[in-house]
Amino acid sequence: MTSGEKSSPNDIGQKHSVSGYVTVNFVKTTTELRRHLAESHGRNRIALVPTMGCLHEGHLSLIRKARKLADTVVVSIYVNPLQFGPDEDFASYPRNPENDAAACKAEGVDIIFHPDNLYPNGHPKVRLTVQEMSDCLCGSHRPGHFDGVATAVNILFNIIRPDIAVFGEKDWQQLAIIKRMVADLHLPIDIVSGKTVRETDGLAMSSRNRYLNEHERKLAGSIFSSLQLMAENAKKSDKNCKSLCKIAKNYLKMNKIDPEYLEIRHACTLERLERLGGPPARAFIAAKVGNARLIDNISLEDNT
């Protein structure tokens, strides 16, 4: 395809020209994807960046990291129905495949995998179950969510067989669970994390931020500020986790935000911590602002 020809992201397996790169392939089927990757396996390092689309700068930062670490970069775009509850926003979850395709091309992605359905006959009969690590934080408020995440990611790993997979730190619980899944299932994949990318006021970039109106968007900035407040107090002297959480909750109350959860937990095992100064600690928060459920977390390890 020449640079003057028009392209559509709906063309299965169609190659598109990218400035500075040879081609990028938009693939919708497992068979087609495996055909494109056949020559790469054993020769090139393959990196996967799993996404649900509606790409923003946070996703692009993960793609750039993958580009530095691997010869072939695959971005999956799939809004996974298994990780949405019956009252959650699966139907309304933002989708923008045209913009996603353009963003991937601009970043030099080799393959965009955008399946209509990952599961045979609509729903898998066999799924993964996440124990213990899914019983807290988002998992306790979204039953079955991480089972759906683990099942979909494991399917992607089996189809693509990447050497590297890159996940964002904003979804830290997901990151920790995927690392444990890879260890428990002896998968030959290196899990690499990418730092949370933030707006100018600190709000973590998220596809759900577009749900916020102007007033809600201003309030949402206090989510990160509350985490920073915890880190500042921890650095000064306060090592009691309940005390740190209370400080942050009072701050959020002044900004009319009632968090779904606000906790300090072990960064690797996700076990609840009582005091700082021992295992690596992170502060986690989820809060509903308007119609948007927003999550964030920061490390407190440097403050212990």
**Distance (Å, rounded) from C-alpha 167 to C-alpha 267?**
15
**Distance (Å, rounded) from C-alpha 256 to C-alpha 248?**
12
Which residue from 164, 182, 163, 185 is spatially nearest to 174, judged by alpha carbons? 182
**3-class SS of residue 208:** helix
Catalytic residue among 59, 186, 215, 266: 59
**Distance (Å, rounded) from C-alpha 147 to C-alpha 88?**
16
**How many CB atoms are closer than 10 A to CB 118?**
18
> Does residue 59 have an active-site annotation?
yes
Strand 21-27 versus strand 14-18 pairing type: antiparallel
**Distance (Å, rounded) from C-alpha 223 to C-alpha 196?**
14
**Distance (Å, rounded) from C-alpha 211 to C-alpha 89?**
11
Strand 281-289 versus strand 292-299 pairing type: antiparallel
Note the Cα 67 to chain centre separation in Å.
17
Catalytic residues: 59
